[in-house]
Amino acid sequence: MNETILSKELRELDIQHLFHPYTNPRQHEQVGPVVIERGEGVFVYDTNGQRYLEALAGLWSVAVGFGEPRLVEAAAKQMSMLPFYHLFAHKSHSPGIRLADKLCAMAPGQLSHVLFSNSGSEANDSVVKLVWFYNNSLGRPEKKKFIARKNGYHGITVASGSLTGLPANHNAFDLPKIPVIHLECPHYYRFGLEGESEQQFTDRLIKQLEDTIVAEGPDTIAAFIGEPVMGAGGVIVPPVGYWPRVQEVCRKYDVLLVVDEVITGFGRLGTMFASEHYGVEPDILVVSKQITSSYQPLGAVIFSEKLYQGIADKAGALGTFAHGLTAGGHPVATAVALENLAIIEERGLVANAKEVGAYMREGLGAFASHPMVGEVRGDGMIAAVELVADKASKRKFDPVGKVGAYLSGRSHEHGLIARNLGDTFAFCPPMIITKSEIDLMLSMFSKALDDTY
């Protein structure tokens, strides 16, 4: 396709001035950006008019698709009524209040209070501080360590980046680590031992968790944090029976269970929250992304009455709870979230994620026999295809990521955007996607894989 004049101009300006997250700058100077101009349903269009099926819903987040007029109207209405107000020092606003109420009603278990942020990273930073504040309030200042998992992703700010267990987020940043212990990644295909069943793998992970808590001292371990299905770490589905047993160990040692549902929240696994799907009741639930379908930046920490009471006692004694973000719980973002959640409910998108997600995973399952495919995995409407250099030994490509990046490039040529996480190709389409659009996605992927092989 010929490059338009607009596209050329934007490309040059982009290379000169826009520093891109999660991008190799030197490579970017060579290849330049794909400039996306507009969206509609599950498709986005670049400035050359090329259409792409957005099989990652942007960044795992655009649940209702890319052209939902009701969200535009909700934002416009709120902007003209009250474009900004904050929640500091007893001030409040209606969409913030209504959304907090709705989230507590929707959330699994007995969660009663909501602290807003603008992003998932900030939400997880807030989790760390809430938990520390809570334990200080209870007079147990030693109970501060977090347990997270290798390959887990919880964000990139200093505290949330510490929780993240991906080397790339630590290397060369000299990230000052908060006290975090990273346990084994719960990926049976990669980390199950020779001859170990999936059930035995779960047993081993749970034993590692309990042994760690006991060795460190339960009075030093504040919380366990995990994503129900790891997203950025490679779409890792937990082994059989994993989550309820994590919860059991946490309860036994008075360790708070923090479930990071930034990707899985609001229907991705075919239930409103993945916590329900896997049978756990978190003390703290973290959400972002699909809460507004990413039409507006918003994150939320939804926490239990027990935490609230402890925090309120300490904050009362100190005179204030000195934490908050100017735009956290922004009225436009919370108004958009309310409308977005209404759409998810009215249109049965959670049920769609379940049904069409199963259809998607079945279709992707057909690639399991491909010579380059090591594993096809997923749950609900999130899945991944892991490419390997050698199927029998599961040997990775060297260097990791090169083949995945090549496949990503070929996919673009066929009109498909998904995301290569190293050599793992992830799919997490908008929850409105239909079976015929899944067929199109699969045929594009098949062509790109043929080009790569």
List of residues contacting ligand PLP (CB under 6 A): 119-121, 124, 153-155, 227, 231-232, 260, 262-263, 288
Kindly state the smallest distance separating residue 55's Cβ from ligand PLP, in Å.
16
Chain-centre distance for alpha carbon 153:
8
Kindly state the smallest distance separating residue 295's Cβ from ligand PLP, in Å.
14
Kindly state the smallest distance separating residue 425's Cβ from ligand PLP, in Å.
17
Phi, psi of 345 (to 5 degrees): -70, -50
Helix (H, G, I), strand (E, B) or coil at 224: strand
**Of the two residues 310 and 329, which places its CB atom closer to ligand PLP in the complex?**
329
**Of the two residues 388 and 428, which places its CB atom closer to ligand PLP in the complex?**
428
Q: From residue 154, give the alpha-carbon distance in Å to each of 120, 164, 232, 258, 403.
A: 7, 5, 9, 11, 26
Kindly state the smallest distance separating residue 207's Cβ from ligand PLP, in Å.
25
**Of the two residues 183 and 263, which places its CB atom closer to ligand PLP in the complex?**
263
Kindly state the smallest distance separating residue 352's Cβ from ligand PLP, in Å.
21
> Which residue's beta carbon is nearest to the bound ligand PLP?
120
Contacts of 192 (CB under 8 A, 6+ apart): 198, 201, 239
Helix (H, G, I), strand (E, B) or coil at 395: strand
**Of the two residues 292 and 408, which places its CB atom closer to ligand PLP in the complex?**
292
For the record, the structure tokens of 177 come out as 């680590």
For the record, the structure tokens of 16 come out as 């000169």
Contacts of 315 (CB under 8 A, 6+ apart): 133, 321
Cα(166)–Cα(151) distance, integer angstroms = 5
Cis peptide leading into residue 399 (ω within 30°):
yes
**Of the two residues 278 and 310, which places its CB atom closer to ligand PLP in the complex?**
278
**Of the two residues 332 and 388, which places its CB atom closer to ligand PLP in the complex?**
332
Any bridge partners for residue 230, and if so which? 236
Kindly state the smallest distance separating residue 59's Cβ from ligand PLP, in Å.
6
